[in-house]
Amino acid sequence: MDSDISYNLKYAWRALPVLGSVALLVMYTEAMLMPSLPSIQAEFGVTPAEASWVLSIYLILGTISAAVLGSLGDMYGKKKVLVLALSIYSVAVTLTGYAPTFHLLLLARALQGLGMAMFPLAFSLIREEFPPRLVPVAQGVISAMFGVGMVVALPLGAYVSQYYGWRMTYHTAAPLAALLTTLIALYIKESGYKAPRRVDFVGIGLFAAAASSFLIAVSEAPNWGWTSGQTIALFAVAAASAAAFAVWESAAKEPFIPRDILNRNVVAATVAIFMVAYAMQMTTQSLSYLFEMPPPFGYGLSILDAGLHLAPMAALQLVGAPIAGRLLWRVGAKKMSAAGVAVAVAGYLTASVYAYSGLWTLVGVMSVGFLGLTLLNVSLINLLTFSVPRSRLGAATSLNTVFRNFGSAVAPAVAGAVLTTFSTTAALPASGRAVLLAVPSPTAYAVNFYMAAAMFLLALIPIAAAREVFTPGALSRGGQ
């Protein structure tokens, strides 16, 4: 029990910013990439569909590595695996900045996918070093780092890409990655909680086949067509692999995903985070179009200005996440999740009505929506980490990351389909003449905001099924 463990709070508070910088680094690097995609496409002479693989291959390999390395962290030591992942990530970021060909760029991006595996490992190490009463605050600080990364990277990435070239975005990230790797190797203690077992290679293979097939199908369906033979075949492979994985895992003596972590709280948090990630990604994509489309179909912002106008939403997360963590023992994860849903839905539904009522009106109401998102993220990650033994934290948090990635992968395809379906033809200036182009209509944005709000409401179902772990009694007993 935690009550029998002595904590070194001085060390814990020193370790927090170092481990929290993992989220900051990865968000900084990935958000800086977004404004650079057109430049990458032009330099290598590839199609938009090919350029999209710069994002897709990172997501696919990242999802697989998050699950695999999270479990290996439980088995061999979370710090050891984190340093390994960070070392490879640092090399990959460096190679990306110097990639001479598009195929080598994709290879480097695939290696960067290991960055996703660092999240569950860092979250787990933080959970171990703080006494239960302070864990929610620490997790709130980590959640806030995601907001900091977005605040810094979106406008900075656009500026660097525009004036110094897309490669410079990686040249700035590479030394930061190397520095963070060194700091963690030197100053972070190894986890005291391990669960040695055999590596389930069959389970890993079946999981990788299911995840990669599904993510490729979802990512490429807008280009290939949802009813094309390629898309249907990949979904079939994903379904068959998932079924085989479920059968294998149910019978394996030492399964890839330990059966003892699949309690109702872990399942609830994992299902809910899929819906939350879906809603967030759908909203971010819709806002990007709405900000950058020319008037009267949008606000006509440059990529740089669009990033700056997203900053208040991220800044509110930066402030709200630690406060939410501090209040979690008083309020409870389930009540805070419900409050997050209510706040998010209020913001998103208001945005669907007032999307064209002024730029700062839209930023204001969406900031409210993102505050609700912050309350959900903080409550769900803490609900999960307080519901499993410390020796299983890597596997549990990696499972959470996997489903977050699934939600983030499905959303762009659906949002893009909505923006295409509810479009209107407009005469837009191009090369000194008017060109007829299809642009999203106001209905398209409203539909996407409605769908995001609906996903938040659906998240209440698994949340309601969870068992509350944040109670005064649980705190006095030391928590999980």
- Measured in whole angstroms, the distance separating CA 365 from the mean position of its chain's CA atoms is 22
Measured distance CA(273)–CA(430) in Å, rounded = 42
Output the six-digit token pair for 38: 């057109």
- 159, pLDDT greater than 60: yes
Confirm if 68 and 395 have CB atoms less than 8 A apart. Answer: no
Confidence of residue 151 (pLDDT cuts 50, 70, 90): low
Closest residue by Cα to residue 462 from 412, 401, 403: 403
Confirm if 403 and 64 have CB atoms less than 8 A apart. Answer: no
Length in residues, the chain: 480
**What is the per-residue pLDDT for 248?**
92
Q: What is the pLDDT of residues 386-396, one digit of tens each?
A: 898 877 888 88
Output the six-digit token pair for 416: 């893009």
Measured distance CA(170)–CA(94) in Å, rounded = 7
Question: Domains in the chain, ordered, with CATH?
Answer: 15-195 (1.20.1250.20), 260-468 (1.20.1250.20)
DSSP codes of every residue in 450-477 = HHHHHHHHHTHHHHHHSPP--SHHHHHH
- pLDDT above 70 covers a percentage of the chain that reads 92
- pLDDT above 90 covers a percentage of the chain that reads 31
* pTM exceeding the 0.75 threshold for the entire prediction: yes
- 453, pLDDT greater than 90: yes
- 430, pLDDT greater than 50: yes
Q: What is the pLDDT of residues 260-283, one digit of tens each?
A: 888 999 999 999 999 998 898 888
> Residue range 343-350: average pLDDT?
95
- The mean pLDDT value of the chain amounts to 84
Q: How far is CA 377 from CA 274, 337, 367, in A?
A: 11, 8, 15
Measured distance CA(88)–CA(111) in Å, rounded = 7
Output the six-digit token pair for 32: 């800086």
Q: What is the pLDDT of residues 59-71, one digit of tens each?
A: 888 888 888 888 8
- Give, as one character, the DSSP assignment of residue 436: E
Measured distance CA(244)–CA(249) in Å, rounded = 8
How, if at all, do strands 433-440 and 423-430 pair?
antiparallel
Output the six-digit token pair for 373: 């998102």
For 91, half-sphere exposure in the C-beta direction (CA atoms, 13 angstrom radius) is 9
